[in-house]
Amino acid sequence: MEICLDTDVLIDFLRGKRKIVEAIKTLEEKHKLLTTSINIFELYYGAYRTGKSGNVKAVDELAERLEILKLTEQSAKISGEILAELESDGRAINLRDILIAGIAIKNDVTLFTGNKRHFQRVKGLKLFESWG
């Protein structure tokens, strides 16, 4: 199984939170771990906001370790459909989360996130169920 790590999971990993570090080490043994270009953007944004070059370097190193799934025309199309559907139901979520969901669906990967409340609204998105 391919598991896409969401931003909140990656932040907890970078902060050294024991539960997440252990979970990721265990997952790495049996699964391919990756993330999206949107998640990497969010990590860099947060790192630059802190003003600490060490945080930017930590994101650089993490980005080197993971395969990064890109926003493509097809994943953008899926994301647009998701947003339109959620808006029509009055259940829209953050645009970046919509893009992450579209990329995950397009690449048929399971999303590992602590933000299940929002992502559960997205039809067809597989969520990792063993955290938390």
Q: Is residue 47 part of a domain?
A: yes
- Asked if the structure places residue 25 within a domain, the reply is yes
For position 130, what pLDDT does the model report? 64
Predicted pLDDT at 129: 78
Long-range CB pairs of 52-56 (<8 Å, 24+ gap) are: 55/14
In a domain, 44, yes or no: yes
Give the mean model confidence (pLDDT) for residues 47-51.
96
- CATH number of the structural domain spanning residue 49: 3.40.50.1010
User: Domain for residue 18, yes or no?
Assistant: yes
| Structural domain harbouring 86 | 2-127
Note whether residue 132 is domain-resident. no
Residue type, 126: K
pLDDT above 90: residue 2:
yes
Which residue's entry shows tokens 């339109």?
84
pTM, rounded to two decimals: 0.94
Looking at residue 5, its pLDDT comes to: 98
Give the dihedral of Cα atoms 82, 88, 92, 96; nearest 10 deg: 40
| 119 within some domain | yes
How many domains, in total, are found in the chain? Answer: 1
Q: Mind listing the pLDDT tens digit for each residue in 55-100? A: 999 999 999 999 999 999 999 999 999 999 999 999 999 999 999 9
